[in-house]
Structure 1
Amino acid sequence: MRLFLFVLFLSLAAPASFAQKAPELGPDVDAPSLDDLHSLPESDQDETGGKVVADGRDEDQKAIDELFKKLAAAETPEQALAIGQQIQAKWLDSGSDTVNVLMTRAAAALRGNKYGLALDLLDVVVTLKPDFAEGWNRRATVYYMEQDFGRSLVDIERTLALEPRHWGALSGLGIIQRRLGEDDKALATFRRALEINPGLKNAKEAVEDLEKAAEGEAI
């Protein structure tokens, strides 16, 4: 209980600049959706608190690096998808049963649009395991859903500092940049995500749309 209150205090005491909401996006811009991000892998734990269904428990960085090499060499979208899921499964396993359970409950809250509960749980996650990139990424997702793009960007930055190859965080960054009208930055970000994971359908579509828009402006 003391830990929860401490974390809650920290979240309330955060700098006001992080709490600023995004500017009005206009009636022609859809509200944020989890479909934008596709950042909740199906390999999450179940709601009973079971362990993450990961491909082994070894979180050795060398194993992840090998998977990234296989991802870069994937010859078909199906291969890229399967390897990407293995990487995500490893990212999801924090190495702590307590944190894994909190992540499961936060994912359930997020899917149920219970953003306040999800944030409370994820605040504890990043406090208990500050080197766990997926904790920051998941909290960035919740902030995105709340259109609190300032805080979302801060957590994306933390995620990428811990795992620069996190294509989910990069995709989220590109989506926010695009929503804020920073199309040039968004295009570069989506291209970077595709360099890491060529099988990202949404990123490919975003690149195509942004390139077409850029060509239209040039004309």
Structure 2
Amino acid sequence: MVAKFSNLKAIVAATSLTVLFSVPLQARAEDPVDEAGLLAALAQADPGEAIGLDRSLQALWGSSGSPAMDLLLKRGKDALERGETRMAIEHLTALTDHAPGFATGWYERARAYFTAGLFGPAVADLERTLMLNPNDYNAIFALGAMFEQFNDPQNAYEAYQRAQAIHPHHEAITSALDRLKTTVEGREL
């Protein structure tokens, strides 16, 4: 009889665990779980909260949904970090060829083109990125940097303002706006 009860306890415990892990957990109402929620929270966040929201958005945008495409992205980014720009462009071109709807692939290839001094292709890839994901504040910031490269501070400043409207606590955006403010707006008398 004791053996029957010990087996019964194991079965009840296993069943309880199965039920516990198969029931979806209720997300807290204040936790943004989708892109729109993350972006809305980012626009209202304090600087500390913005860091985590930025990471969440980058993780969301950085996942293609395909392990093979994610591997091409990783290889391209790794090659760019190692200074192997040509190799990065090759990996990222394969990515954009096979996953043309994946905005991050276009953004990363734009970075590689910019590093290689290929500004025309970099701008074209940034335009494609923003067509696919108009809220990618890093791509908007990069477009502002391109305008600065072309000695167009007015358009650069406007791009940085657009990026800051999405991510108010992005340090590079704030720094760029501070740098260009007197050039674009002039000095107060």
Q: TM-score range by the shorter chain?
A: 0.7 to 0.9
Aligned equivalent of 1:145, options 115, 126, 130: 115
More helix by share: 2
Aligned equivalent of 1:127, options 97, 100, 112: 97
4+ residue runs over 6 A deviation: none
Identity of aligned residues (%): 30
Aligned to 2:12: none
Q: 1:52-103 CA deviation, whole Å, 9 max, x = no partner? A: xxxxxxxxxx8111111111121x2111111011000011100000000111
Letter in 2 for 1:118: A
Evaluate the alpha carbon distance shift between residue 69 and residue 216 of structure 1 in structure 2; reply closer, same or farther with a 3 A threshold: closer
Aligned to 2:14: none
Aligned equivalent of 1:197, options 160, 167, 177: 167
Aligned to 1:65: 36
Aligned to 1:91: 61
Aligned equivalent of 1:177, options 126, 147, 172: 147
What is the 5 A alignment of 1:37-116?
63-74=34-45, 76-116=46-86
Q: 1:100-159 CA deviation, whole Å, 9 max, x = no partner? A: 011111111000010111111111100110000000000000011111111100000000
Distance 2:133 2:156 in 1: 19
Aligned to 1:48: none
Shift of 1:217: 7.6
Across the aligned residues of Structure 1 and Structure 2, the Cα RMSD in angstroms comes to 1.5
Evaluate the alpha carbon distance shift between residue 215 and residue 69 of structure 1 in structure 2; reply closer, same or farther with a 3 A threshold: closer
Q: Which has the larger radius of gyration?
A: 2
Distance 2:127 2:188 in 1: 31
Distance 1:215 1:166 in 2: 26
2:128 matches 1:163: no
Letter in 2 for 1:69: A
Give TM-score scaled by structure 2 length.
0.79
Evaluate the alpha carbon distance shift between residue 217 and residue 127 of structure 1 in structure 2; reply closer, same or farther with a 3 A threshold: same
Evaluate the alpha carbon distance shift between residue 205 and residue 169 of structure 1 in structure 2; reply closer, same or farther with a 3 A threshold: same
Contact 2:110–2:123 (8 Å) recurs in 1:
yes
Q: Where does structure 2 lack aligned partners over 5 or more consecutive residues?
A: 1-32
Shift of 1:218: 9.0
